[in-house]
């Protein structure tokens, strides 16, 4: 691995620390190197706050009395193209120009229309050397949620379920826990990393899920439930006002403290498409769909999914509700407690 790749790898490590906190912005990390030594690091920590490049430069300024001279002979590594427009914060490219950093190494371009190539052009126009495409695929993969939202105008969609060894999703009546405690903890970690988690009417009614991260440390996602006729009892955990909850229905749009009722018209024909577009408009960048089987199948049939995470337990039932079927190749397999976690990626 080259020196450029090693520094970019550090950018990616830093960027990942922003998971769950920067959406709908991308995760970005930056490293500043002078005389073969890292002199500053930074990452985008919270949406609306300073970007990675700003934090890295300020890190240098706070440590070295000769910081400006160091910056003038340094190289900045950044996992995503520096912005060139005013958004929540000033353009990062302007700060790079201000401190006369002579070389910038970029992992991938930013596909957002206000940035795409403009940050690079702005730097090059003043004589700054720009190298792009270092660990490009790794940088693209880190921000697949951001890139999906920009390109497809919908959230990055993760399907998640547990199934028995013989492929059953749930018993015909009642409920029965399939996966292990380790799988539960991992699921709560996943929730902390994504913007929202969705369940259908039957899952809400039969399982009464809380859809929070009580088994992990992190922020709770938005909770989403499909309740066409607004018939779910208000005694369910989903209506406890403990976190933001969206209720997609066919009758009203209304806000009740943390509960937001959103009326949709196309329940019979374009329900998953309507949900995805509404979430896009609300800056929801990623979504986990946790059930039930009909809700998962609805999104699978519509081709609206990007990744599936399936826990397979050791029990054999021989009857019950069959698990959803995917037309996809296995990407990864892991052992989680007593379960096997299989991760699929949708082929386009």
Q: What is the pLDDT of residues 239-251, one digit of tens each?
A: 999 999 999 999 9
Q: pLDDT band for 169, please (50, 70, 90 cuts).
A: confident
Strands 307-312 and 75-80: unpaired
Q: What is the mean pLDDT of the chain?
A: 92
The helix or strand, by DSSP H or E, that contains position 297, with its residue range, turns out to be helix 293-301
Q: Which residue's structure tokens are 């809700």?
A: 295
Q: Is 60 helix (H, G, I), strand (E, B) or coil?
A: helix
pLDDT mean over 96-101: 94
Length of the chain: 348
pLDDT mean over 178-196: 94
pLDDT mean over 326-337: 87
What are φ and ψ of residue 342, in 5° steps? Answer: -115, 130
Look at residue 266 in the predicted model and tell me its pLDDT. Answer: 83
Q: pLDDT band for 291, please (50, 70, 90 cuts).
A: confident
pLDDT mean over 16-29: 94
pLDDT mean over 317-342: 89
Look at residue 197 in the predicted model and tell me its pLDDT. Answer: 98
For the stretch 24-57, pLDDT in tens is 999 999 999 999 999 999 999 999 899 999 999 9
For the stretch 143-163, pLDDT in tens is 999 999 999 999 999 999 999
Q: Smallest Cα–Cα separation from 236: which of 228, 221, 247?
A: 247
- Distance separating alpha carbons of residues 226 and 249, to the nearest angstrom: 6
- Distance separating alpha carbons of residues 227 and 272, to the nearest angstrom: 13
φ/ψ region of 18 (left if φ > 0, alpha if ψ in -120 to 50, else beta) reads alpha
3-state secondary structure 192-261: HHCCEEEECHHHHHHHCCCCCCCCCCCCCCEEEEECCCCCCCCCCHHHCCCCCEEEEECCCCEEECCEEE
Which one has a higher pLDDT value, 123 or 89? 123
- Distance separating alpha carbons of residues 13 and 215, to the nearest angstrom: 24
Asked if pLDDT for residue 259 goes beyond 90, the answer is yes
Whether 258 and 243 have beta carbons less than 8 Å apart is answered as: yes
| Catalytic-residue membership of 53 | yes
Annotated catalytic residue, options 41, 53, 81, 194: 53
Asked if pLDDT for residue 329 goes beyond 90, the answer is no
Asked if pLDDT for residue 86 goes beyond 60, the answer is no
> Is residue 223 exposed (0-12), middle (13-18) or buried (19+ Cβ within 10 Å)?
buried
Q: Is 69 helix (H, G, I), strand (E, B) or coil?
A: helix
Look at residue 89 in the predicted model and tell me its pLDDT. Answer: 63
Q: Nearest 5 degrees, angle CA 110-CA 112-CA 113?
A: 120
Asked if pLDDT for residue 172 goes beyond 80, the answer is no
Look at residue 96 in the predicted model and tell me its pLDDT. Answer: 93
Look at residue 302 in the predicted model and tell me its pLDDT. Answer: 95
pLDDT mean over 253-259: 97
Whether 292 and 322 have beta carbons less than 8 Å apart is answered as: no
Q: pLDDT exceeding 90 applies to what percent of the chain?
A: 79
**The pair of three-digit structure tokens given for residue 32, joined into one six-digit string:** 């500043």
Q: Given strand 29-34, what is the order of strands in its sheet?
A: 37-43, 29-34, 75-80, 103-108, 129-132
**The pair of three-digit structure tokens given for residue 250, joined into one six-digit string:** 């066919």
Asked if pLDDT for residue 348 goes beyond 80, the answer is no
Per-residue b or e along 172-211, where b marks 16 or more CB atoms closer than 10 Å to that residue's CB: eeeeeebbbeebbebbbebbbbbbbbbbbbbbbbebebbb
């Amino acid at each position: 691995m080259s020196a450029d790749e090693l520094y970019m790898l550090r950018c990616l490590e830093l960027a990942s620390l922003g998971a769950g906190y920067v959406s709908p912005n991308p995760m970005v990390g930056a490293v500043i190197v002078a005389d073969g030594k890292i002199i500053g690091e930074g990452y985008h920590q919270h949406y609306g706050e300073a970007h990675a490049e700003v934090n890295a430069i300020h890190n240098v300024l706070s440590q070295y009395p000769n910081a400006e001279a160091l910056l003038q002979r340094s190289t900045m590594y950044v996992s995503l193209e520096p912005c060139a427009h005013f958004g929540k914060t000033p353009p990062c490219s302007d700060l790079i120009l201000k401190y006369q950093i002579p070389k910038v190494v970029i992992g991938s371009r930013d596909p957002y229309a206000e940035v795409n190539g403009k940050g690079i052009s702005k730097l090059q126009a003043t004589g700054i050397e720009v190298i792009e495409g270092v660990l490009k695929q790794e940088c693209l993969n880190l921000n697949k949620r951001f890139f999906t939202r920009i390109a497809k105008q919908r959230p990055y969609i993760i399907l998640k379920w547990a199934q028995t060894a013989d492929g059953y999703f749930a018993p015909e009546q009642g409920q029965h826990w399939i996966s292990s405690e380790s799988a539960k903890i991992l699921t709560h970690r996943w929730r902390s990393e994504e913007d929202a988690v969705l369940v259908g009417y039957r899952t809400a009614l039969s399982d009464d899920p809380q859809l929070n991260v009580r088994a992990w440390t992190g922020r709770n996602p938005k909770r989403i439930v499909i309740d066409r006729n607004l018939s779910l009892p208000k005694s369910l955990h989903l209506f406890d006002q403990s976190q933001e909850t969206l209720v997609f229905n066919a009758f009203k749009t209304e806000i009740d403290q943390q509960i937001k009722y959103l009326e949709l018209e196309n329940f019979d024909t374009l329900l998953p498409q309507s949900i995805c577009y509404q979430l896009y408009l609300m800056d929801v960048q990623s979504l986990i769909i946790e059930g039930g089987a009909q809700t998962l199948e609805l999104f699978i049939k519509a081709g609206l999914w990007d990744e599936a995470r399936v826990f397979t337990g050791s029990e054999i039932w021989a009857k019950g509700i069959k698990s959803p079927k995917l037309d996809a190749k296995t990407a990864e397999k892991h052992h989680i407690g007593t379960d096997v976690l299989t991760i699929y990626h949708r082929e386009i």
